[in-house]
Structure 1
Amino acid sequence: MTALNSQDRARAAGGGLSARHAVFFVVAAAAPLGFAVGSTPLALGAGGIGTAGMFLVVGMFLAIFAAGYTAMARFIPDAGAFFSFIAVGIGRPPGLGAAFVAILAYAVAATASIGPFAVFASQATATFLGVGTPWQVWAGVAMAAMGVLGVLNVELNMRVLGLILLVEVALFAVLSVAIIGTGGAEGLSLHAFRPDTIAGGEIGVVLLVVFAAFAGFEATALFREEVRDPEGAIRRATYGAIGAIAIFHAVVTWAIIAAFGDAAAVQVAHDRPTDMFALAAGTHVGAGFADLLVLFVAGNWFASILAFHNATARYLFVLGRDGVIGRVFAARSAKTGAPWVASLSHTLFAAAVLLFCVVRDLDPYLDLFVIGCVPAAVSIPAMELLTACAIFAFFRRDRRGTGLWQGRIAPAISVAALGIIVCLVLTNLPMFTGRTGAINWILPGLNLMVFLAGIARAYWMRTHRPGDYHRIGRWGKE
């Protein structure tokens, strides 16, 4: 396998995007406002104030991972998903297994995100309309809107995502400056960035949440045909996206800790996770700003729901089209061209989960979101570990002119470190879920079961449908 040929380079060279644009789009799609308000308190409450410093540590580590990732991306057609790297580097069976895990992760992430959306939407209506709306109502609204928009093939436009990002950054800039400007509750301190503080909490819990913040940084490779100087731009965009996410979340988390003080911040995050940012905003900026923050957080979570839903439907459609699963999933709407069967299938899945939560009177945040997102959150470092193994194996066979750092050292460091990280995440799950017993192994075990199912399907295809089998790892070429 060789790097992209001259025609590929020429086509890409005509693109109008720069590395800056790619960073902008990727960070916008990561929905930093919704993640910070909805997920960061989980890490603070269980793992302590070292969460702020952990964003920088993980960012530096992923920069090492990116060295091998961007080097191998030059040799992978349509490199935009980890499963393509795994299929090429390790083999098609684990590659298909990774694709199955990706479907599970996206489907669960979209469904679990309905929980925090419903909570913040209910808070917003109570604030602005004076009407107390049960979370179940907003969960139903989100599910219905997700299903309708999916069937209509309405996708989030990058320009809209960019506008949302500008609003998010502006809101957090105002909040952070207000907190830092007043010195916080107990004065400003860099205690959260000390190595002993970062390593002193429940590292597995913090890593699980922090890694989720960086989910999607690898998507910079999707812009290969739209950017000028694709190889250089994708490399700069990948590092830029990692750096932007790391610095943004580190600063915001540090500011929110300062708003309450080191000890009090951990207690508030544990006791009132969904109110933490609103409480800080109300104290340091004003009640009106706190209300505005809650409103935009609700909208941000719906953007995440729709983005994850579209990704789920896309994976199901492609697998159906290539005969990996039932070809009915490849059915398109005659009017809109949308993969309506794939979209409807995920909507029905979400409906079943929500119905279960309602019947069992489960909490939309602590149960639907926290418990529900475990398979997705665990799959992120696990997929990165497999990808690091694939990169190492790929360049071990032939370095293809890459340097020693990119082709050997960086991938080897990534494999060792990610292996340790996955172990820490799995052994610390009870601290994240707040539960004891078998559930802490059943939830991440779903990833393993789905992964093995994908491997088994690949071996079946190799025997019975070799033509379809050899296309594994080259999806997306319609």
Structure 2
Amino acid sequence: MKSKPSGTLSARHIVFFVIAAAAPLGFAVGSIPLAIGRGGIGTAAMFLVAGGFLALFAVGYVAMTRFVPNAGALFSYISAGLGRPLGIGVAFVAALAYALVSAGAVGPFSVFAEQMTQSLFGVTVPWPVWAIGGVVVMGILGQLNVELNMRVLGFFMIAEVTVLGVLGLAVTFQGGATGLSLAALSPSTIAQGQIGVVLLFVFAAFAGFEATALFREEAKHPVRTLRRATFGSIAVIALLQSFVAWSIVQAFGATVVDVANATPTEMFAIAARNYVGDWFANLITILVVCSWFASISAFHNATTRYLHALARDRVLPAVFARRSQRTNAPWVASLTHAIFTLVLIILCIVAGLDPYLDLFVLGSVPVAVSIPAMECLTAIAIISFFLKDRRGLSAWVTYVAPAISALALAVVVYLVLANMEFYTAQTGAINWILPGINLVVLGLGVSRALWMKYRSPRLYEGIGRYGLE
């Protein structure tokens, strides 16, 4: 099937969305020190390994865009390869995952914003004020057209990448603490650390890259644009975060693990002051807040597009498919997620919960399991889809690459579950209840699909077929 120009977004626009959603600066400051402290300096090399596995997954993933031209992404591909009931179940899980990621990111955004105003201006603006304000702005941007959102996200992304690059280059040109070394990029260093712990953090850096397919209907040349955007996003995240992790190791030398464990939240600020200056550390403090807000907005966009795709197929109420006549934004879906997020924030405030440890860390547990699990199922679905007819594609694209990626992603899911106690810092039932939410939501989605199959067969047959000739 030959694709036709059907939108205005280029691969560059979509890469901006994906990188901004991954919050490169926020992730680096908040997660790389923990990964190094718990898992060792092999964190730098693990970014490249994870990027390689996800690139294998993307081989079959982008091939599917030719034959399943639907903005539903993962759930559309799973529906095509493994059946609509499982596909709809996964769609429910995906919508929940993106909704929770966006809502959870409000936690660190508001915490870092409170710290920023205190450290830079000596004024305390409580985190609830920042949280509610952030949700309101998120909702407003969601009502505007996607291109405006891309400009906002693109600005944040360029600023974040520039800051990380400047810090890394400053450390490199000054020779680090005790001279430069490539040991952190050696495969042997991965084996010396706790692989499961490092994977838990590293794969989080790539969260949302698969959302490129959600913008299929808004891309200039859908197949070519999404192929470039998907591989480009993976490459940028892998190379950038690997370089950042490597440079931080060089900045502290032999003491890096001790520093990461003793002062994880101050590690990047210390490096910035030592190798660039106080002004640069202050700049990072400001941009970390922007980074988290960019992530909130980007995952909000992903959530609304999942809701829109499901509603268009009548799996969800049709009202969620309504678009604004002025901006073409899926305004009902956007407003619904904004209200959902606001309710979570208010409940967190009333219950006296911690916005970072409770709203963000515990709230992200279902996502830490569901994202690699959905990708694993998608890889299996790709093999199934091409099993009887390769449609002119090579065995590498249709079978080999998806099979290797499915196995690798299955291992990642196992390691994430095995290290759940470390991730939550909790013991007991909560470590299986939180991941178990995915199974409950999956069951609801499968049940909805089966209900439609027997009660509304015509609508059921149309699921996932929007845009097919």
> TM-score scaled to structure 1, two decimals?
0.88
The answer on 1:59 being equivalent to 2:48 is no
- Alpha-carbon spacing, 1:148–1:243, altered in 2? closer, same or farther (3 Å): closer
Match of 2:452 in 1: 461
Write the distance in 1 (CA, Å) between the matches of 2:333 and 2:216. Answer: 25
CA distance in structure 1 between the partners assigned to 2:183 and 2:203 by the alignment = 22
CA deviations over 1:204-256 (Å, ceiling 9, x no partner): 2322322222233334444587456x655544443332222111010011112
What is the 5 A alignment of 1:76-225?
76-78=68-70, 81-151=73-143, 156-221=148-213, 222=215
What is the match of residue 295 of structure 2? Answer: 304
Taking the aligned partners of 1:273 and 1:475, their CA distance within structure 2 comes to: 47
1:403 aligned to 2:394? yes
Between the aligned partners of 2:346 and 2:250, the Cα distance in structure 1 is: 40
Moved more, 126-135 or 105-114: 126-135
The match for 1:416 is: 407
Match of 1:362 in 2: 353
Structure 2 gaps, min length 5 = none
- CA distance, structure 2, for counterparts of residue 134 and residue 466 of structure 1: 52
Cα distance, 1:474 vs. partner? 3.3
Count matched residues. Answer: 467
SS at match of 1:261: helix
Give the structure 2 partner of residue 425 of structure 1. Answer: 416
**2:313/2:459 contact within 8 Å kept:** yes
Q: Please give the per-residue CA displacement for 1:287-327, whole angstroms capped at 9, x wherever unaligned.
A: 11111111111112112112222332333344344432334
Confirm whether residue 245 of structure 1 aligns to residue 209 of structure 2: no
Specify the alignment match of 2:275 in structure 1: 284
| CA-to-aligned-CA distance 1:372-402 (integer Å, 9 cap, x gap) | 1111222111111010010111111211121
Question: Is the alpha carbon distance of 1:265 and 1:127 closer, same or farther for their aligned partners in structure 2, counting shifts above 3 Å?
Answer: same
Structure 1 residues 461 and 442: CA distance shift in structure 2, 3 A: same
AA aligned to 1:113 is A
Deviates more, 1:127-136 or 1:283-292: 127-136
- Mapped contact 1:214–1:242 kept (Cα < 8 A): yes
Write the letter of the residue equivalent to 1:421.
V
Distance 1:303 1:409 in 2: 36
CA distance in 1, matches of 2:386, 2:91: 22
Asked if 1:37 corresponds to 2:29, the answer is: yes
Higher alpha-carbon deviation: 399-408 or 71-80: 71-80
Contact (CA 8 Å) 1:80, 1:218: kept in 2 or not? Answer: no
Aligned residue type for 2:98: Y
For 1:266-415, list aligned pairs within 5 A: 266-330=257-321, 339-415=330-406
Larger mean CA deviation between 177-186 and 463-472 belongs to 177-186
Question: One-letter code of the match for 1:429?
Answer: M
Deviates more, 1:342-351 or 1:424-433: 342-351
Alpha-carbon contact 2:141-2:149 (below 8 Å) kept:
no
The Cα offsets for residues 422-449 of structure 1, whole Å up to 9 and x where unpaired, read as: 1111111111222111111111111111
Instruction: Please tell me the root mean square deviation across aligned C-alpha atoms, in Å.
Output: 2.8
Structure 1 residue 335: Cα displacement: 7.5
Check if 1:258 corresponds to 2:250. yes
Which range is displaced more, 464-473 or 340-349? 340-349
Moved more, 212-221 or 79-88: 212-221
Separation (CA, whole Å) in 2 of partners of 1:452 and 1:157 = 34
Decide which moves more: 91-100 or 466-475.
466-475
SS of 2:161's equivalent? helix
Question: Aligned AA for 1:468?
Answer: L
Structure 1 residues 356, 223: CA separation in 2 closer, same or farther (over 3 Å shift)? closer
Give the deviation of 1:189 after TM superposition.
2.5
**How big is the shift at 1:16?**
8.0
Shift of 1:58: 0.7
Q: Distance in 2 between matches of 1:269 and 1:354?
A: 30
CA distance in 1, matches of 2:460, 2:431: 34
Shift, 1:467, TM fit: 2.0
Aligned to 1:49: 41
Report how far residue 184 of structure 1 moved: 2.3
Q: Which amino acid aligns with 2:168?
A: S
CA offsets, 1:60-119, max 9 Å, x none? 112222222222222111366111110101111111111101111111111110111112
Unaligned runs of 5+ in 1: none
Verify the 8 A CA contact 1:429 1:440 in the aligned structure 2: yes
TM-score w.r.t. the length of structure 2 is 0.90
CA distance, structure 2, for counterparts of residue 281 and residue 41 of structure 1: 14
Q: CA deviation digits over 1:190-211, x for unaligned, max 9?
A: 2222223213333223223222
Which moves more between the two structures, 281-290 or 195-204?
A: 195-204
Separation in 2, partners of 1:119, 1:321: 37
Q: Distance in 1 between matches of 2:208 and 2:53?
A: 16
C-alpha separation in 2, matches of 1:18 and 1:401: 27
Is the Cα–Cα contact under 8 Å of residues 268 and 276 in structure 1 kept in the other structure? yes
Give me the whole-angstrom Cα distance separating, in 2, the residues matched to 1:145 and 1:377: 26
Answer whether contact 2:9 2:147 (CA < 8 A) is retained.
no
Give, in whole Å, the separation in 2 of the partners of 1:412 and 1:171: 38
User: Which amino acid in 1 is paired with 2:237?
Assistant: I
The answer to whether the 8 Å contact 1:95/1:472 transfers is no
Q: Is the CA contact (8 Å cut-off) linking 1:188 and 1:258 kept in structure 2?
A: yes
Distance change (3 Å), C-alpha of 1:113 and 1:25 = closer
For 2:60, the aligned partner's letter is G
Amino acid corresponding to residue 419 of structure 2 in structure 1: N
Q: Helix, strand or coil for the counterpart of 2:426? A: coil
Q: 1:442 maps to which residue?
A: 433
